Amino acid sequence: RHPKHVTMAVLPLLNRRLGLSNLLQTASRLTAYRSNSHVSLSAQQVDQFHEDGYVHVPDALPLDLVDELEEVFDDFVAGDVPGRQVPSLDYGDHSQGHNVAREAMRMINVNQPTFHCPSWQGNVFEQACQAWSAQLFDSNMRKDYDQLLMKLPNKSQALFAMHQDMAYWPKLSSAPTRTATFSLALTDAEVERGCLYVVPGSHHAKRLVGDHADHDNTFNQDASKQGEGRALELNSDTLAATAVHVPVRRGDITIHDEWIVHGSGGNSLSDPRKTYVMAFRDVAMVAYEREIGFHHSYTDGEVLTLIRTGKV
């Protein structure tokens, strides 16, 4: 089963811009790119990921490749594309819920951009993440989902509360949960611009910790009417006190695992924060998710409620 996404008028434009010749050029450039040291994680970086639950990798992608990715990113998040009537459930300010007016948005999220725009599949970031995930684990890692995130300028409330990714994902499968979530900085992200913060080592217990509040409890109701209950917030002053910020420069990546406690602050600066996120998970877990109808899409319907309530 495929997600029932609402098509945006911008997508045909993107597919035209990302035609075969462009993809072939990108693939050719990636072949050359793989020959240099930037694509490989050091042994120290791999060890830090497993020990601390995250790692910051400076200069992970050359800036000319970041330029290409950012150009497509900007097309996706543009909210004024002529002819786009109603945004998909996978487009909007997911920190506040559905149907938030553009002028009230604090951030813009685009879920599964490479599903919406198949010609962007296999882009340079995806191929690099495939190589990095094999270094962190092994070759049995597959892309599970991707997401674009832009924190709008001067939006101090454009934050993601402290949480664990596994609160949003299936927990009862026997498939390995192992995950590497890569976040590519398309812009600098200082503390003031809402960079990632993490609680190092909080992943070791491999369980949900503290109290993950579902805000107004809307996820226990109709999944098609999710409001402020979009985000899960982990309430723990003790954990918050041990969090560390991870500021990044354009072209850097951070990588974190599925159990680490993390979040990010608002953007108090006059320029946006742009991030391209991609998660690789064990191939058996990806297969299980698709089997139960979970595609990391807000069009997935009932399975979202089953996950949030711990039934799958």
Instruction: Give residue-wise pLDDT tens across range 78-114.
Output: 854 333 333 468 888 988 877 888 889 999 998 888 8
How far apart are the C-alpha atoms of 276 and 189, rounded to whole Å? 12
Backbone torsions φ then ψ of 84, nearest 5 degrees: -85, 110
CA 60 to chain CA centroid, nearest Å = 17
The answer on pLDDT for 12 being more than 70 is: no
Q: Which residues pair with 206 in a beta bridge?
A: none
Instruction: Give the tokens for residue 97.
Output: 């819920």
Instruction: Give the tokens for residue 300.
Output: 């997935």
Q: Give pLDDT, residue 122.
A: 92
> Is the Cα dihedral 133, 137, 139, 140 positive or negative?
negative
pLDDT tens string 132-171: 999 999 999 999 999 999 999 999 999 988 889 998 899 9
Nearest C-alpha neighbor of 53 from the set 243, 221, 194:
243
Over residues 170-191, the mean pLDDT reads 97
Residues 232 and 140 sit within 8 Å (Cβ to Cβ): no
How far apart are the C-alpha atoms of 32 and 34, rounded to whole Å? 5
Q: Give pLDDT, residue 90.
A: 84
Percent of the chain with pLDDT over 70: 76
Q: How many residues does the chain have?
A: 312
For residue 236, what pLDDT band results from cuts at 50, 70 and 90? low
Q: Give pLDDT, residue 58.
A: 96
The model carries a pTM of 0.84
